[in-house]
Amino acid sequence: MTGRKNRTLHFQELGLMDYEPAFEFQEKLMKEIIDLKLENRTRTDDDQKQTPNYLLFVEHPHVYTIGKSGDEHNMLANAKKLEEINATFVKTNRGGDITYHGFGQIVGYPILDLDNYKSDIFLYMRNLEEVIIRTIAEYGLKGERSEGETGVWLDVGKPYARKICALGVKTSKWVTMHGFGLNVNTDLRYFDYIIACGIKDKGVTSLKRELEREFSPSEMAEVKEKIKKHFCDVFEASII
């Protein structure tokens, strides 16, 4: 490889989209990057092409997703209950256990070639957490990491510790997919039907609950802009 790193991000706002088509779109982008990396192995250094990176934002209708190593016993609702609450249940290929995506949640899917950044999954996860920690700090909230548990938490080490942002990723050939879900206006009652991330003794929260106010559409857009800014700062990237 030439060592040339491409840290520009193609940003796309996908809007409201069902989980499955968003998953398929991620897989398409991931495959294109991997295919280009494999092609570059057959090229001379001067002929190699830079791999692209993407940052996708999306909002999903009510859906529970479980990672490849997740425990289905952490889904507490049966098929009838899922129908009653207008939610679906999807098995997916990310790491981690079960989580919920729904209206009022900002879901971010970075499709990055980590060879453009640092080929370190642990660092990548900590950097994603750092993006959210910096974002919610702008709203007066102290986000923290909880040892052995991914995501961004409030009041770690206290009986009322609660998660405000969940993380789960998949990588192949150092290319990432999946990402994070930040609860903003999220209806937290939907978490009552799962043992979120397989963690029984901790709760979940949202910006709405912590700040005791609903975020308007313009304020939701503002949160997204803050995430994008901090993503670029943490990953030393630029959005095109």
Catalytic residue numbers read 197
Q: Please measure the distance between the N-terminal and C-terminal CA atoms of the chain and give it in whole angstroms.
A: 24
Q: Is 99 annotated as a binding residue?
A: yes
The tokens of 73 are what? Answer: 């016993």
* Residue 104 among known ligand-binding residues: no
**168 marked ligand binding residue:** yes
Helix residue ranges per DSSP H, 107-216: 121-137, 207-211
- How many alpha carbons fall within 13 Å on the CB side of residue 121? 14
Does residue 167 have a known ligand-binding role? yes
Is 77 assigned a ligand-binding role in the annotation? no
179 assigned ligand-binding residue: yes
Q: Among 117, 96, 149, 138, which Cα is nearest to 227's?
A: 138
166 is in an annotated binding site: yes
* Residue whose tokens read 């490849």: 68
Closest-CA residue to 154 (of 105, 210, 113): 210
Is there a binding annotation on residue 11? Answer: no
**Do 106 and 184 contact (CB within 8 A), yes or no?**
yes
97 assigned ligand-binding residue? yes
Binding residues for substrate: 94-101, 166-168, 179-181
Annotated binding site: 94-101, 166-168, 179-181
